[in-house]
């Protein structure tokens, strides 16, 4: 189990008991920034350490967000938590998977499938180089390997940066300048992808001529992201250079009407710099909810989503399927909770008469406790 030893950072060890919650958070964030800085420094000369440090930086940033919810949540076993041990830094910390699961379940953060896959890849790559000796990573790294690592880190940074400067911005406010510097330095990775972009240029021109939409990739910055509509406002695609695979929503701004491509509906605004109006789930639903009239006894065609557990109805019927506008997960059907009667996508109603669903489980438990 990974042990978080240097909570106080390497340079300024602090008194064992003087650390308050706030400074614990600061220590974590400084550590995360340190790891990412080392990862960038080691990228070309010691790619193995770049991979390890990058993963640590990513993991600690996620844990810092979790710490703000409660310090015990970053421990492997929160129920056996001791604050004294925690302050000393002698504890087994949660794995990256556990951290993400708690961010989803406790904090209510939404991670798309692509983001989860991307973070898992970073973690698997770290495990691979930590546990086994690979000469490819120790001698002078090949251009191909550097290209692969650059792509992986650009993609993961895109997601992490999106969080810490987007929905989590307020929580990391005093670090925005340092995060901005990291962002600039990580864009330096793009140089290692330039050769690939040049090699692909004629293929991209051919695609453009054939009417394929190619836009700027938000991970690697090259004009190499092949995008296609998959239904309604939902778009999907892949970058030909860094292989980032992403889905997004394309919606016209309710204020200025300009089309905006949105990665995260919890923190979305219009792409038009003169407008920058906030765009919300409601704006998407207003446009894409099929017409129905409750006065005629029509039921709402919208459902809740059991995957991301968004507290409002976020699933719309589209092209004979159902799709959640928040986490962009597609479903073949929707089910009804036998306890509260709500319509939910991605939900198995089998035992719901007893246990309810994510919306009503507390009420169901209280009800049966009283019996
Ligand atoms: Zn790319
Ligand atoms: Zn606008
Ligand atoms: Zn969802
Ligand atoms: Zn229910």
How many angstroms separate the alpha carbon of residue 279 from the centre of ligand 2?
9
How many angstroms separate the alpha carbon of residue 305 from the centre of ligand 3?
5
Ligand nearest to the CA of 254: 2
- Each of the 371 residues of the chain gets a pLDDT tens digit; together they read 333 433 333 333 344 444 567 788 999 999 999 999 999 999 988 999 999 999 999 999 999 999 999 888 998 888 887 888 877 777 888 999 999 999 998 898 989 888 999 999 999 999 998 887 777 777 678 888 999 999 999 999 999 999 999 889 999 999 999 999 999 999 889 888 998 899 899 999 999 999 999 999 988 999 999 999 999 999 999 999 998 988 899 999 999 999 999 988 988 999 999 999 999 999 999 999 999 888 888 889 999 999 989 999 999 999 999 999 999 999 999 999 999 999 999 999 999 998 999 999 888 888 888 77
What is the reported pLDDT for 20? 65
Task: Identify residues whose C-beta is under 5 A from ligand 4, the ion.
Answer: 337, 339-340, 356-357, 359-360
Q: Is the distance from CB of 363 to CB of 340 less than 8 angstroms?
A: yes
What is the reported pLDDT for 113? 87
What beta strand segments (E) does the chain contain?
213-215, 225-231, 234-239, 245-252, 259-262, 268-269, 278-279, 304-305, 315-318, 321-324, 330-331, 334-336, 343-345
Ligand nearest to the CA of 251: 2
How many angstroms separate the alpha carbon of residue 306 from the centre of ligand 3?
7
Ligand nearest to the CA of 330: 3
Question: CA-based diameter of the chain, in Å?
Answer: 72
How many angstroms separate the alpha carbon of residue 367 from the centre of ligand 4?
13
| Residue 117 backbone dihedrals phi, psi, to 5 degrees | -60, -40
Ligand nearest to the CA of 322: 3
How many angstroms separate the alpha carbon of residue 315 from the centre of ligand 1?
29
Residue count (the chain): 371
Candidates 292, 302, 286; CA nearest to 343 is 302
- The predicted model scores a pTM of 0.76
Return the sign of the alpha-carbon dihedral for residues 342, 348, 349, 355. Answer: negative
User: DSSP of 70-121, one letter per residue?
Assistant: -GGGGBS-GGG--HHHHHHT-SBBPPHHHHHHHIIIII-----HHHHHHHHH
Instruction: Report which DSSP code applies to 271.
Output: S
What is the reported pLDDT for 117? 93
What is the reported pLDDT for 292? 87
């Amino acid at each position: 189990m990974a042990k978080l030893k240097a909570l106080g950072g390497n340079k300024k060890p602090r008194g064992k008991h003087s650390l308050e919650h706030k400074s614990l958070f600061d220590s974590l964030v400084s550590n995360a920034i340190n790891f990412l800085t080392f990862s960038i420094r080691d990228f070309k000369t010691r790619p193995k350490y770049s991979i390890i440090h990058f993963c640590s930086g990513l993991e600690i940033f996620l844990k810092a967000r979790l710490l703000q919810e409660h310090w015990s949540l970053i421990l492997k076993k929160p129920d056996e938590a001791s604050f004294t041990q925690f302050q000393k830094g002698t504890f087994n910390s949660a794995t990256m998977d556990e951290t993400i699961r708690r961010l989803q379940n406790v904090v209510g953060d939404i991670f798309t499938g692509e983001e989860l896959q991307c973070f898992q890849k970073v973690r698997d790559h770290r495990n691979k180089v930590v546990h086994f000796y690979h000469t490819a990573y120790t001698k002078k790294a090949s251009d191909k390997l550097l290209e692969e690592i650059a792509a992986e880190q650009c993609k993961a940074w895109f997601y992490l940066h999106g969080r810490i400067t987007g929905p989590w911005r307020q929580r990391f406010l005093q670090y925005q300048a340092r995060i901005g510097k990291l962002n600039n330095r990580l864009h330096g990775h793009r140089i290692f992808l330039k050769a690939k972009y040049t090699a692909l240029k004629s293929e991209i021109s051919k695609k453009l001529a054939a009417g394929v939409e190619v836009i700027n990739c938000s991970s690697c910055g090259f004009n190499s992201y092949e995008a296609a509509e998959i239904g309604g406002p939902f778009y999907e695609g892949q970058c030909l250079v860094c292989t980032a695979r992403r889905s997004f929503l394309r919606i016209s701004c309710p204020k200025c009407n300009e089309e905006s491509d949105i990665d995260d509906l919890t923190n979305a605004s219009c792409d038009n710099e003169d407008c920058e109006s906030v765009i919300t789930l409601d704006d998407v639903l207003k446009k894409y909810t099929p017409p129905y009239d409750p006065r005629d006894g029509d039921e709402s065609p919208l459902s809740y989503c059991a995957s991301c557990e968004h507290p409002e109805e976020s699933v719309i019927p589209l092209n004979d399927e159902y799709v959640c506008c928040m986490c962009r997960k597609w479903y073949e059907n929707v089910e009804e909770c036998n306890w509260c009667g709500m319509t939910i996508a991605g939900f198995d109603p089998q035992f719901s008469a007893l246990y309810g669903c994510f919306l009503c489980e507390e009420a169901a438990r209280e009800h049966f406790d009283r019996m």
